[in-house]
Structure 1
Amino acid sequence: MSRTIKEIYDQAVAERDRRLELREFNSDSKLSILNGILWVTAAVIYTFEVLLDTFAMDISEVINSRINGTPAYYVRALLQYQKGDELAVREDGLAFGYASVDESKRLVTQATYTESVEDDNLDAKLILKVATGEKGRLQPVGAEDLVLLNAYIARLKFAGTRVEVTSRKGDVLIPRVTVYYDGAVRESAALDGIEAKLNEYMSSVDFDAAIYVSKVVAAMRAAEHVTDVYIDTAAVPAQGIFVASYDVDGCLTGTRRVERVLHTASGYLTQSAGTQEQCELPTFREALTLKVESHEV
């Protein structure tokens, strides 16, 4: 980290005063010729040190972005995958790449990684979690495309590395809570506002980020006309923030109550479609219990 001009100047003055042959030039005046020369020299040295810091930072970023074999390396590779194009080896033989970049052929829009250790295998496996589509409307990668992605990573991975690419249907968010509103609008309008805020929240959450109960509740409280969001412990069925996840085979594993924080299996949240395998999972409107705020004690 570069020093300030004053730090450089003070060190130069201290070094000058330490030398007997220069003590006759000792002066506290900022207008002295020697002090003026020292100040200009300090400014030049400061500029040089700032340039060195900038250069070191740029070099560090380049090196970090080119480290092969790290989890981030595989994530970047998945985001750059172009469906239908053939990988080619660079002339220096140090990396794979495509002859031309075509973003319209890219399949993966979101990717992250976790490490999994199995009891029967001491070596950790790198699990690469991916999804496609726009943020807020993410979808799992199709089974056929997932085979292509695993084959693609198999060509890029380093010897001895255990890597698996997975993509699951979105975890279904079920906000089974009691919402109080001021009664100034119709119930349907109040539900529209709450649903919009929940959709906005799901769109704002980063891929594979932690899901906090407090933030889900805060999203509903932010809806217009809502006065309170309450988890009734005596209600039947039980209230709370629930999530239903899919396993690697695409089957629902049942709902689970989120006590405080949760990491999704798929990396993103969705609302129940209310059809097919989700027919028994309530939509936002079906899960919410809406009541008009009463000020009676």
Structure 2
Amino acid sequence: MSRTIKEIYDEAVAERNRRLELLEFGSDSKLSILNGILWVAAAVIYTFEVILDTFAVDISEVINNRINGTPAYYVRALLQYQKGDELSVREDGLAFGYASVDESKRLVTQATYAESHTDDNLDAKLILKVATGATGHLEAVSPEDLVLLNAYIGRIKFAGTRVEVTSRRGDVLIPRLTVYYDGAVTESEVLDGIEVKINDYMSSIDFDAAIYVSKVMAAIRSAAHVTDVYIDTEAVPAQGVFLASYNTDGLLEATERIARVRQTASGYLTQSSGRDEQRELPTFREALILQVDRHEV
């Protein structure tokens, strides 16, 4: 980032004052010849630094928009995909795009990447994890659209690169915790406030961010009238923060307790719907146990 003219001028004056051979020319007057020269020189240097900043931004845009085969390149490509439109590639092969940008045709709103290795194939495979929908209301891309996305990536990927696009239903968050409250309101009001805070937490975290038990508990603790959040080691069923994730075949796997931190399989969190395969998974209200805090001061 370019410096201001005043910053450049002050640095030049400070450097001049450190040189003994120039001390006899020292002057505090803004109208002195030497200070005037310094001010003009500072203005010239400032102009040059602004030009360099502009040049750096332009170069950065060119590099980001060209085909370079990095994981970030594939993520950007998925975010730009427009369903039903014909993809065109420049003659020099350095960039691609659509005749017109139509955000209503875009499928992917969130995307990230990870590398996967297997014992039978030591070459890394790039796994691109995607979701659609607005933040806080993310959903898995439909199987039909997922086929289109994989075909799209197949067209633009570098030769020899192993890439797969995946999209899973959201990981179900189950906070089996004991929550203490001040008893000033009804249980229903407390649960309403807790549900809002948990939903706010799920909406605030980045796509594919790690889930921390402490942050889930802190979100609950921030609700009005809540005085403490506790994991009862003697409770039945066992307490803690749990996740139930879907596998690549769309099947719900067994619920697992988060020891401290865990990465989601889908990249985002949801609450149990209480229906179909999630009928055995409790909602936030069903998972929490409320207790009036008798020790509150």
Per the normalisation by structure 1, the TM-score is: 0.90
Cα drift, residue 16 of structure 1: 9.8
Q: Deviations over 1:211-232 (max 9, x none)?
A: 1111111111111111111111
SS at structure 2 position matched to 1:129:
strand
Relative to structure 1, is the Cα distance of residues 38 and 203 closer, same or farther in structure 2, using a 3 angstrom cutoff? same
Question: Is 2:150 aligned against 1:146?
Answer: no
Aligned to 1:50: 49
Question: Is 2:6 aligned against 1:7?
Answer: no
Cα drift, residue 92 of structure 1: 4.3
Aligned to 2:275: 275
Alpha-carbon distance in 1 for matches of 2:2, 2:85? 47
Alpha-carbon distance in 2 for matches of 1:90, 1:190? 58
SS at structure 1 position matched to 2:245:
strand
Cα drift, residue 250 of structure 1: 0.8
Alpha-carbon distance in 2 for matches of 1:217, 1:10? 54
Alpha-carbon distance in 2 for matches of 1:287, 1:138? 22
5 Å matches for 1:1-297? Answer: 4-11=8-15, 17=21, 26-31=24-29, 33-67=32-66, 68-295=68-295
Cα drift, residue 199 of structure 1: 1.0
Relative to structure 1, is the Cα distance of residues 52 and 14 closer, same or farther in structure 2, using a 3 angstrom cutoff? farther
Q: Which runs of 5+ in 2 are unaligned?
A: none
Relative to structure 1, is the Cα distance of residues 257 and 40 closer, same or farther in structure 2, using a 3 angstrom cutoff? same
Relative to structure 1, is the Cα distance of residues 221 and 155 closer, same or farther in structure 2, using a 3 angstrom cutoff? same
Alpha-carbon distance in 1 for matches of 2:263, 2:274? 23
Alpha-carbon distance in 2 for matches of 1:165, 1:97? 19
Relative to structure 1, is the Cα distance of residues 2 and 103 closer, same or farther in structure 2, using a 3 angstrom cutoff? closer
Alpha-carbon distance in 1 for matches of 2:91, 2:63? 22
Q: Deviations over 1:149-176 (max 9, x none)?
A: 0000000111111110000010000000
Alpha-carbon distance in 1 for matches of 2:180, 2:238? 18
Cα drift, residue 88 of structure 1: 2.0
SS at structure 2 position matched to 1:203:
helix
Relative to structure 1, is the Cα distance of residues 6 and 284 closer, same or farther in structure 2, using a 3 angstrom cutoff? same
SS at structure 1 position matched to 2:254:
strand
**Number of equivalences:** 291
Cα drift, residue 12 of structure 1: 5.8
Q: Which amino acid aligns with 1:87?
A: L
Q: Which amino acid aligns with 1:86?
A: E
SS at structure 1 position matched to 2:244:
strand
Q: Percent identity?
A: 65
Q: Deviations over 1:113-166 (max 9, x none)?
A: 111122222211111000011111111001111000000000011111111000
Relative to structure 1, is the Cα distance of residues 10 and 200 closer, same or farther in structure 2, using a 3 angstrom cutoff? closer
Alpha-carbon distance in 2 for matches of 1:42, 1:296? 68
Alpha-carbon distance in 2 for matches of 1:103, 1:162? 28
Alpha-carbon distance in 2 for matches of 1:220, 1:128? 32
Q: Which amino acid aligns with 2:224?
A: E
Q: Deviations over 1:69-123 (max 9, x none)?
A: 1111111111111111121233544333211111111111111111112222221
Alpha-carbon distance in 1 for matches of 2:222, 2:17? 61
Relative to structure 1, is the Cα distance of residues 272 and 41 closer, same or farther in structure 2, using a 3 angstrom cutoff? same
Of stretches 273-282 and 145-154 in structure 1, the one that deviates more from structure 2 is 273-282
Alpha-carbon distance in 2 for matches of 1:52, 1:15? 30
Alpha-carbon distance in 1 for matches of 2:277, 2:290? 26
Relative to structure 1, is the Cα distance of residues 93 and 296 closer, same or farther in structure 2, using a 3 angstrom cutoff? closer
Alpha-carbon distance in 1 for matches of 2:234, 2:45? 68
SS at structure 2 position matched to 1:165:
strand
